[in-house]
């Protein structure tokens, strides 16, 4: 991307990115999983990996989707196909740091990172710190209703721990 100083991003765009971050975790935490793929561009990529995998360049992370259809498949499978003990997430996210911004020739684009903490609550009430880490995002401002809408072209979830307790079925 043609980059400009990330601090020069407009207040409107910065706040649109922040709304995207908040809306994303609320959709997941409230069980509105069907909304999850809509935060991505059609060719959007989503991948969860562990810090060690990331550091060592081990690219076969967990829960890899390289387009929106794969995300829709994941959610359908979560709802209808897979066997898992019911649970929900609660994410707490930190402030978003815009690392780079500019244009890809067509759209305004930005690279950003956001810390998260995710607590898992089981159907019987048991709670556990499930994952902490950061989102490393490529965001593109696509034309949408009455203006531009920021979407994720890529979200890499870098979990601090490589351990996963029992299973990872709901996206982080």
Partner 1 sequence: MAQAIGVRPVSELIRWPTDDLSRIPLHIYGDPEIYAWEQDRIFRGPTWNFLSLECEIPKPNDYVLTKVGDTPVIVVRTAEGGINALVNRCTHKGSVLCYDSRGEGKRTFVCPYHAWSFDQSGELRGIAFEKGVGGLGGMPEGFDKSKHALTRLRVEVIEGLVFGTFSDATPPLEQYLGEPMVAHIRRTIRGRKMQIIGRYNHIMPNNWKLYIENSRDTHHPSLLHAFFATFKLNRLSAEGGIRHDPANWHHLVFAKRLTDQGHEEYSPGKLRTMKADFGLNDPSLIAQWMEFDDNITNALQSIMPGFVLQQILNSIGTRQIITRGTGECELIWTVVAFEEDTPEQRAIRIKQSNLVGPHGYISMEDGAIGGFVQQGIKGDRDKLAVVEMGGLTADGQPTRATETSVRGFYKAYRELMGA
For residue 92, give both structure tokens: 């707490």
By CB under 8 A, name the one of 3, 10, 15, 82 that touches partner 1.
82
Residue placing its CB nearer to partner 1 in the complex, 47 or 96 = 47
Q: How many CB atoms lie within 10 A of CB 92?
A: 12
By CB under 8 A, name the one of 1, 6, 27, 62 that touches partner 1.
62
- Residue 61 is a binding residue for partner 1 (CB under 8 A): yes
92 vs 60: CA distance, rounded Å: 26
83 vs 106: CA distance, rounded Å: 43
By CB under 8 A, name the one of 38, 41, 53, 115 that touches partner 1.
53
Helix (H, G, I), strand (E, B) or coil at 124: coil
Q: How many CB atoms lie within 10 A of CB 83?
A: 6
- Residue 73 is a binding residue for partner 1 (CB under 8 A): yes
Binding site for partner 1 (CB under 8 A): 48-50, 52-53, 56, 58-64, 66-67, 69-70, 72-73, 76-77, 80-85, 161-169
């Amino acid at each position: 991307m043609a980059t400009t100083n990330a601090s020069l991003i407009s207040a409107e765009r910065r706040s649109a990115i922040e709304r995207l971050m908040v809306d994303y975790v609320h959709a997941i935490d409230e069980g509105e999983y069907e909304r999850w793929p809509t935060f991505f561009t059609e060719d959007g990529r989503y991948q969860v990996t562990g810090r060690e995998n990331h550091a060592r360049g081990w690219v076969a992370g967990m829960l890899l989707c390289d387009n929106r259809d794969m995300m829709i498949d994941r959610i359908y499978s979560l709802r209808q196909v897979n066997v898992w003990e019911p649970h929900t997430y609660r994410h707490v996210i930190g402030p978003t740091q815009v690392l780079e911004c500019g244009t890809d020739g067509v759209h305004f684009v930005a690279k950003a990172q956001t810390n998260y903490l995710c607590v898992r609550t089981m159907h019987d009430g048991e709670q556990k710190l499930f994952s902490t880490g950061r989102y490393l995002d490529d965001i593109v401002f696509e034309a949408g209703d009455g203006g531009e809408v920021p979407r994720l072209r890529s979200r890499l979830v870098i979990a601090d721990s490589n351990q996963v307790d029992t299973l990872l079925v709901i996206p982080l």
